[in-house]
Each structure stands twice: as C-alpha cells, then as structure tokens.
Amino acid sequence: MWKSMIWALMPTKGNKNWGKPLLPIPALVTEFETQVARLGLMTPEYVCSMELRRWCDRNRNRVYVPEWLLSEWGMKVEINFGAAA
C-alpha cells in the first residue's frame, strides 16, 4: 500500500515537452505579401499587375520580392544597393 502511495506522489521522469518550442513561433508576413493582399491579387495575376510591377521596381533592392517574378519582368537586384563605398 505504501509503495502505491509513494509512486502516486512522485513526479514522472523526464520532460514531456523535450524538443518542443516553449511558445508557437508566429509566421511573419513580408511587405511583398502585404502589398499583394492590399491589391487583392492571386498568384497568376502578379505578372499582369502594373501597380505591383511599379511597387516591385521601387522596392526590389529593399524588401523581398520573389525571384521568379523579378526574372519574369527582367528586373535585377543590385547587391550593393545603399552600401557605403
């Protein structure tokens, strides 16, 4: 009888949350995704949107723009954009 009471009071061995993150990591939305949502575009419509193209042309060196979209429009990203010489 005493043994069953002792086992009931003892904590279980090991950490049941081992390897799990303490908090869920939130997904971050990029500025490109925010712009696409503002324009209300679906992926097939990206190439046809002139407003998105102008935005990407202005911001391609500053924020993430998908590579496939840049190559579709023939835009190049300047590696050293804004770097001090």
SS (H, E, C) the chain: CHHHHHHHHCCCCCCCCCCCCCCCCCCCCCHHHHHHHHHCCCHHHCCCCHHHHHHHHHHCCCCCCCHHHHHHHCCCCCCCCCCCC
Return the pLDDT at 65: 95
Residue segments in the chain with a per-residue pLDDT below the cut of 70: 1-12, 81-85
What pLDDT is attached to residue 84?
Answer: 58
pLDDT of residue 5: 64
**What's residue 43's pLDDT?**
94
Residue 11, pLDDT score: 65
